[in-house]
A = this chain, B = another copy of it.
Amino acid sequence: MAVTLADVAARAGVSSATVSRVLNGNYPVAGSTKDRVQRAVEELDYVVNGQARALAAATSDLVGVLVNDVADPFFGLIASALQAEIGAGGTQPGGSKLAVVCNTGGSPEAELTYLTLLERQRAAGVVLTGSTVESKAHAAAVATRLTRLAASGTRIVLCGRPPLEPASDALGLMTIAFDNRGGARRLTEHLLSLGHRRIGYVAGPAERSTTRHRLEGHRAALLAGGPGPDTGAGAAADRLTVHGGYDRSSGYDATLELLRRETGVTAIVAANDTVALGVCAALRDSGLSIPGDVSVAGFDDLPFSVDASPALTTVRIPLQEAGARAGRLVMGRQAPPPGGVATVATELMVRGSTAPPSPGRR
């Protein structure tokens, strides 16, 4: 059996309460006894039982982090910055916590399951990252869970997803939203300014918030760009838009579909950088050059984007900063933004994959 507080106490010739006090260092203890206790701890290789401590003190060392895909650097970057922030709080208020990274795979059911599991564990905090599935039923189910969690003192942070519809502030939720719409808009404006008029759009999964926001930004730019064959609405726009997943093969398949439709696109905007890689591969496999024949743009500015050839024009999201901030918020180390919602700016990164359309194709 594992060694307990009582064992240490017996060995040191003190009461278990004293041992507890030495361990937690939040109470005056005589130097000599403190030494005896620490020696006993080392001699017995004592390690506190986190569960018993949590039960007695009604606190938890766990912070849940829900991500749609751990294998996607988008989430990896957020998670690693977040974990660095919450795990390194040696001296800071709240100490350091363990991040439980939960991979939902984008499944609403898995999301709910994990929220229940975290509730079971009485998690100190929960961070939901990335796009959410936009369905009334799911939103309600999530809201129910979050309300309960918040009521029991769990800090909730939304990172990279829009604030909860009704009264998220009232619940004490904090949101770090990404300016997907603005970034997408500036990206498409960039393409328009280069002279592109027929711009294909490879969107993410249809029912996701991030997908919608980016698509809205794209169409807003098109509409503002004045009348033309590709006005961003109606049948023409639909022909130029293909939905898929957030993975590379979706970009590949969607691009082949766009080419098949013979829309004469001179540029393709992808849901994110990973998808953009698939787009590039499909174009090359179809014998088209980038950006000579077709310009390509991504979103997120993941580390590999600068290494694609040509380097990818994309929209940078400060994922690590956002993750770190989410970490501080969930630890209560930073004051929540006014209104509970902070919107993180995105930045257009123009690189080699976009250029003016070639005269012949224009």
Contact = CB atoms under 8 A, between A and B. Distances in A.
Interface of A: 2, 45, 47-52, 54-55, 60-62, 69-73, 76-77, 79-80, 83-84, 87, 98-103, 105, 114, 116-117, 119-122, 148, 152, 248, 274, 277-278, 280-281, 284, 303-304, 306-309
9 contacts: A45-B148, A51-B51, A69-B76, A70-B83, A71-B77, A98-B114, A100-B100, A100-B101, A101-B101
A76 B71 CA distance: 4
A208 to B, nearest CB: 19
A28 B244 CA distance: 48
A98 B103 contact: no
A277 B302 CA distance: 13
A54 to B, nearest CB: 5
Contacts of A87: 102-103
Contacts of A52: 55
A220 B117 CA distance: 49
Nearest to A284: B309
A330 to B, nearest CB: 16
Contact of A76 (B54, B70, B307, B309): B70
Nearest to A48: B120
Nearest 6 CB-CB pairings of A with B: A71-B76, A101-B101, A50-B120, A277-B307, A50-B121, A51-B51
Contacts of A2: 122, 152
A70 B101 CA distance: 10
A12 to B, nearest CB: 20
Contacts of A73: 71-73, 76
Query: Which of A72, A76, A77, A152 has the most chain B CB atoms inside 10 A of its CB?
Result: A76
A149 to B, nearest CB: 10
Contact of A79 (B47, B99, B101, B306): B101
B50 A122 contact: yes
Contacts of A54: 51
Contacts of A308: 307-309
A60 B51 contact: yes
Given A79-B70, A121-B98, A55 B61 contact: no
Contacts of A103: 79-80, 83-84, 87, 99
A99 B98 contact: no
A122 B48 CA distance: 9
Contact of A49 (B61, B84, B120, B280): B120
Given A71-B80, A99-B103, 6 more contacts: A49-B55, A50-B117, A87-B102, A98-B117, A248-B303, A284-B309
Contacts of A84: 103, 105
A50 to B, nearest CB: 4
Contact of A309 (B83, B100, B309): B309
A120 B309 contact: no
A87 B101 CA distance: 12
Nearest to A149: B47
